[in-house]
Structure 1
């Protein structure tokens, strides 16, 4: 199921996404984060019990403006969003961005296009690897395919999880229609799961010295064998995924990446991206759902107490 990519935003018939502005430098783009919703509610409110850390603050307010709902027809969506080539020092082959069309941007937002779109997903961790080097084998030949990932499952709370699953599936349909891009799903990813990921390395290009891309500041702790630093002339490690713990007052406290466990209930900010991958001797457009931010809302034990969650869909595979 989903993984991380830049494409058009859709919903299934009764699942409009709700959008609200997020703050980030507008030098190249300003993301607007979406909340998946039904006609009468929003996905965060569908989780059982008292999920104050999920619902606290913003989500309900975000849903009040009708323009923050994704159109429910393909025709309306074509007036609402567009897919454009991505430019910059970290751009990959065939990379594209999903942005709002200028007519969609509300004057109250005080931003100028291009504006990227991101969205929230809330759920339980089934598997996770957000270490700085991800699943890299330490061989340079495998640097292009090294990724960090989080796989999310319902924890048997399908009423809240399925609207997210269906919205992302519909998103993939429209992206495929417009660009031919397909998500590359791993055989190990369950059908009823959402997989989000991020590439570990960026390949340096000839113009990288003029416009150097951001990179992680590698230490012996982050790169124990110095293998990543040995290939730093050709490949840089992307900045660490921002990881947080949400406090009961709604504030997010920065925490180390290794503080997440299977069964934790989390909020992931996801950005769809399109890029090309060589398969069977040809460049093929691929859709990927990329992790922008990871927030722990409840630990596994706390989630079991608060939500009554089970672990039947959360094994260690």
Structure 2
């Protein structure tokens, strides 16, 4: 397995696995601070850079991934509008705690790169919260209202259209379902519901926030894709039958998800899969995946999402 595909959880090893750098945004030239894979992790004939993309798995406890998220339609609240999801362990603690351990180490290393006290953030414990800001401020060069990805059904009351000269939506979270044949099929966001077992790709979003105590650096895990591996009802039925479920821009951005839409792979065009860093193993059957963690003595399998069906939340 290529080293970039397995994130270490030791701070020293992580410092050799990622870097934090400020580079121009893809189209508008505005610089953005990003968490990137260390260039020594992958082979490339050119000086390519790739943004770190993480894959998280868990039981959906809370979600609001509609295109406009929690926005109330008021322009002054557009900068605070977010799409969000909370993942829980559903009683299957071992692999979930491994994810939290890795994410806590990641936050520490990123903050050290930025010269921020690593102890300022609140360690992840019982759940993982991921969110993504809905709107981007319109600028003279890019973006403009013409760059909005919203369709009429995404903004039925026209509130986003009224503020599109100042705030624009440049993304929608890709949502899909993995079929029994292992293929990913794109679907609407309403298919993802509480109690589902999902696979989520996230990237690290860094931004400054002005407070009365001064400027603070905020770190956020932003969603790019959400794939339902098993619905809440399917999870319950699987365990009742005795089955087990195993888990496991300028800058390149590869989530590993490849959706099928009317026979055309990646028809939505939102997920970029670049040569040299596309992860073919990421589309294997979920039954083959275990969560692994590097320690000083090598790689250890930390557990699978299974064998504890009675601990899963009820689908009702």
TM-score, normalised to structure 2, is 0.68
State the Cα distance separating 1:238 from its structure 2 match.
2.7
Aligned-partner Cα distance in 2 for 1:140–1:273? 23
Aligned-partner Cα distance in 2 for 1:238–1:152? 25
Q: Give the stretch that moved more between structures: 168-177 or 243-252.
A: 168-177
* Superposition misfits of 4+ residues, deviation over 6 angstroms: 89-94, 181-186
Aligned 8 A contact 2:232 2:314 in 1: no
- Any stretches of 5+ residues in structure 2 without a counterpart? 240-308
How is 1:75-154 mapped onto 2 (pairs within 5 angstroms)? 75-88=12-25, 95-107=32-44, 112-154=47-89
> Which of 98, 101, 110 is residue 166 of structure 1 equivalent to?
101
- The reply to whether residue 228 of structure 1 matches residue 228 of structure 2 is no
CA RMSD, Structure 1 to Structure 2 (Å): 3.3
User: Hey, what does 1:265 align to over in structure 2?
Assistant: 197
Residues 245 and 72 of structure 1: CA distance in aligned 2, closer, same or farther (over 3 Å): closer
State the Cα distance separating 1:130 from its structure 2 match.
0.5
3-state SS of 2:66 partner:
coil
User: Hey, what does 2:211 align to over in structure 1?
Assistant: 279
User: Hey, what does 1:54 align to over in structure 2?
Assistant: none
State the Cα distance separating 1:311 from its structure 2 match.
5.3
State the Cα distance separating 1:225 from its structure 2 match.
1.5
> Which of 175, 187, 194 is residue 128 of structure 2 equivalent to?
194
Aligned 8 A contact 1:241 1:291 in 2: yes
Once the two structures are superposed, residues 90-117 of structure 1 have per-residue CA deviations (whole angstroms, 9 ceiling, x without a partner) of: 889984111123333225xx67421111
Residues 237 and 69 of structure 1: CA distance in aligned 2, closer, same or farther (over 3 Å): closer
Once the two structures are superposed, residues 237-286 of structure 1 have per-residue CA deviations (whole angstroms, 9 ceiling, x without a partner) of: 13211100001111100111111111000000111121112222733211
Pairs aligned (count): 246
Once the two structures are superposed, residues 14-59 of structure 1 have per-residue CA deviations (whole angstroms, 9 ceiling, x without a partner) of: xxxxxxxxxxxxxxxxxxxxxxxxxxxxxxxxxxxxxxxxxxxxxx
Aligned 8 A contact 1:136 1:146 in 2: yes
3-state SS of 2:226 partner:
strand
User: Hey, what does 2:137 align to over in structure 1?
Assistant: 203
Aligned-partner Cα distance in 1 for 2:124–2:64? 17
Aligned 8 A contact 2:8 2:102 in 1: no
Residues 92 and 173 of structure 1: CA distance in aligned 2, closer, same or farther (over 3 Å): farther
3-state SS of 2:161 partner:
helix
Aligned 8 A contact 1:303 1:309 in 2: no
Q: Give the stretch that moved more between structures: 177-186 or 74-83.
A: 177-186
User: Hey, what does 2:111 align to over in structure 1?
Assistant: 176
Higher relative contact order (CA 8 A, sep 6+): 1
Aligned-partner Cα distance in 2 for 1:245–1:205? 36
User: Hey, what does 1:215 align to over in structure 2?
Assistant: 148
Aligned-partner Cα distance in 2 for 1:237–1:183? 34
TM-score, normalised to structure 1, is 0.68
3-state SS of 2:41 partner:
coil
Once the two structures are superposed, residues 44-75 of structure 1 have per-residue CA deviations (whole angstroms, 9 ceiling, x without a partner) of: xxxxxxxxxxxxxxxxxxxx335644456544
State the Cα distance separating 1:175 from its structure 2 match.
1.5
Residues 285 and 167 of structure 1: CA distance in aligned 2, closer, same or farther (over 3 Å): same
Once the two structures are superposed, residues 216-253 of structure 1 have per-residue CA deviations (whole angstroms, 9 ceiling, x without a partner) of: 2331x211221110000000013211100001111100
3-state SS of 1:303 partner:
helix
Aligned-partner Cα distance in 1 for 2:102–2:4? 18
Aligned 8 A contact 2:4 2:17 in 1: no
- Any stretches of 5+ residues in structure 1 without a counterpart? 1-63
Aligned 8 A contact 2:236 2:315 in 1: no
